[in-house]
Amino acid sequence: DIPVGVPAALIWDVYRGLELGRLVNKLAPEVLGRGRVEFLEETEVLEGGYKDLGFDVVRIRLEIVEKDSESCMVRSTIEYEGDEKLADVVSHVNVKPLEMMAEIIGKHLCQNKSTL
């Protein structure tokens, strides 16, 4: 445990979203990273979605990897744990919605690059 001299709500604003990665990259880039720009968001689904199909654990992982100074790659994965009786359900678990989201966001950012 590390004591921090700011209100919990203030630090949560940093930890709950993208600000954490921005601040670490800005203030201490040597702490995280492997010499290239790479961002990772991993979320565990607590309820709904694939959890409703009966899986014990569902994790969604979005990884943004810089290809060059003008482009990147969005890698989406879904990890799941559950009973063997879910074998028939596994075929319904796919990253297609995440890929569609990446394509839509990428297209939007490309079209609005000059205003961002």
pTM given for the model: 0.65
Distances (CA, A) of 82 to 1, 18, 44, 94, 112: 32, 30, 14, 16, 42
Q: Say whether 58 sits in a helix, a strand or coil.
A: strand
CB 27 within 8 A of CB 20: no
Q: Where are the domains of the chain?
A: 1-32, 36-115
Rg (CA), the chain: 18
Fold exhibited by the domain 36-115: Alpha-D-Glucose-1,6-Bisphosphate; Chain A, domain 4 (3.30.530)
Per-residue model confidence as pLDDT tens digits over 87-103: 888 888 889 888 988 88
Per-residue model confidence as pLDDT tens digits over 31-57: 555 555 567 778 888 888 889 889 999
